Amino acid sequence: MKRIDFNTAKPMFDNGHCKWYIDKHFQMYLENQQALNLPKLKGLGCFIVKGPDIEDYVLIDSEQNILASFKYTQEGFRQMEARINIIKISKHYDEPNI
């Protein structure tokens, strides 16, 4: 887990209460097919959300629905990775094999 420097990083957007920073590691993980033939996931975004009382990983869909949220810690990193893998595996089995 590589921590973001909140002093120098530019947020993707600021809602007035929290700043949302794109998590490059997980965004690449979402958008690329992995070694075990896990599919790409389109329309999802993984962010690090930082506010006065929050510092979390947040996974959202294209309609800005929160799909998962975990603390911005090493444990939260592993939890987010597991959640993304669960979604990828689910998508893999939902798609017909041709």
Q: pTM (2 decimals)?
A: 0.88
- The SS3 assignment for 60 reads strand
Domain range enclosing 23: 17-68
Structural contact between residues 65 and 55, judged by C-beta atoms closer than 8 angstroms? no
- Distance (Å, rounded) from C-alpha 37 to C-alpha 57? 25
pLDDT digits (tens, 9 = 90+) for 24-81: 999 999 998 776 778 899 999 999 999 999 999 999 999 999 999 999 999 999 999 9
In total, how many domains does the chain have? Answer: 1
Residue 34 lies in a domain: yes
Residue 81 lies in a domain: no
